[in-house]
Copies of this chain bind each other. A is one copy, B any other.
């Protein structure tokens, strides 16, 4: 095998964008703030086990057979109702809902649907690293738009659209941004749809954290404001139920889903029926929203512990976002600190903690003074302890730097 036989999209010497994101630490007192994983002790383990049994009982051996590209209509109907009730997406039915292998496959298939090599794609800066790994495969031209405290900078977006007429797709995590922690305002949601209509592009609204709001009122989805079938709303069961389901779902125009089915068929034939049927059984026999309330209660406490720890431990000059939901806060340090170097040189070996450095969340990997910090996978004590250690490291780095400046 010679590397010359690989396609251009494969860059053998470039590590995966996800590589090294989750460093293993062999210390007894290690605390990792890297995870995008939900807390395992909150999984509805017994109920889901029962749901698998119920799925097998309902269909017998046929459970295990090939089924269809679209999956169970009953499940898609439930999700269409959920889209109307929770996402304020009107006028959709089961045929507007497509099941995917996690939200990740939704991103991948939509990129595959839209992007020729070189086509323009707008991403937030920072943005979800897994989306970048999907997008890379279709060799787009990336345009970055800054993330602000109320979502992407839509003025900068319009400037970008004016300057580049090849833009076909804008990708956004509007609710409790991964990694930024911020939420897009209603005004910006409206403006984004108006720009899509004016400049002729599609919007991929990726919302894995949307149901996990700890304070404030839920905002209408971007899809709610869609007037020309330009918004694809993407959700997932990974954060509110369990990641191993690998079950995502999207709400999209029927004409889009028709084409996406061809792409999914080519990629992996269909969503496993046993999974789709088990989730359908789970939803029939359990109250998903009550389960989510339990998650919100548990995660709210962890969020407060993180805010308290950050306020107590971080030196002046370090800033953190205050997410109203989701899994992450985004910490910005003075720009003389490179958070990748700091992680590998000091934070992991000496403080025995880990975060994800900002570099990974930028299309061009050129941002070096931020970090994504997860608060949902840890206990309040671990959060307090971990932030104390991080604060100590940052204070030391900053005092070293001010000594240098003073010299």
Q: Which residues does A use to contact B, with CB under 8 Å?
A: 1-2, 5-10, 12, 16, 18, 36-38, 40-41, 43, 45, 48-49, 52-53, 56, 60-67, 101-102, 104-105, 108, 112-117, 119, 130, 133-134, 136-138, 168, 200-202, 228-230, 238, 242-246, 253, 255-256, 258-259, 261-263, 265-270, 272-275
The 4 closest A-B pairs by CB, nearest first: A64-B242, A101-B268, A133-B266, A40-B61
- Chain B residues with CB below 8 A from A242, complex form: 64-65
A81 vs B41: C-alpha distance when bound (angstroms): 36
Known: A36-B66, A43-B65, A104-B269. 18 other contacts (CB 8 A): A1-B229, A5-B201, A6-B259, A7-B112, A7-B138, A9-B112, A40-B65, A45-B56, A45-B61, A49-B56, A64-B244, A101-B268, A104-B266, A108-B266, A133-B266, A244-B273, A245-B274, A246-B270
A52 vs B2: C-alpha distance when bound (angstroms): 40
| Of the residues B16, B65, B136, B263, contact of A244 by C-beta under 8 Å | B65
Contact: B114 with A7, CB < 8 Å? yes
> A2 and B267 in contact (CB under 8 A), knowing A45-B56, A65-B242, A272-B245?
no
Closest-by-CB residue of B relative to A241 is B64
A273 vs B43: C-alpha distance when bound (angstroms): 15
Contact: B66 with A266, CB < 8 Å? no
Contact: A119 with B63, CB < 8 Å? no
Contact: B64 with A40, CB < 8 Å? yes
Closest-by-CB residue of B relative to A137 is B266
Contact: A66 with B253, CB < 8 Å? no
Contact: A246 with B266, CB < 8 Å? no
> A272 and B275 in contact (CB under 8 A), knowing A5-B202, A10-B262?
yes
Q: State how many angstroms separate the Cβ of A395 from the closest Cβ of chain B.
A: 33
A263 vs B243: C-alpha distance when bound (angstroms): 19
- Chain B residues with CB below 8 A from A253, complex form: 1
Contact: A6 with B114, CB < 8 Å? yes
Q: State how many angstroms separate the Cβ of A235 from the closest Cβ of chain B.
A: 16
- Chain B residues with CB below 8 A from A275, complex form: 272
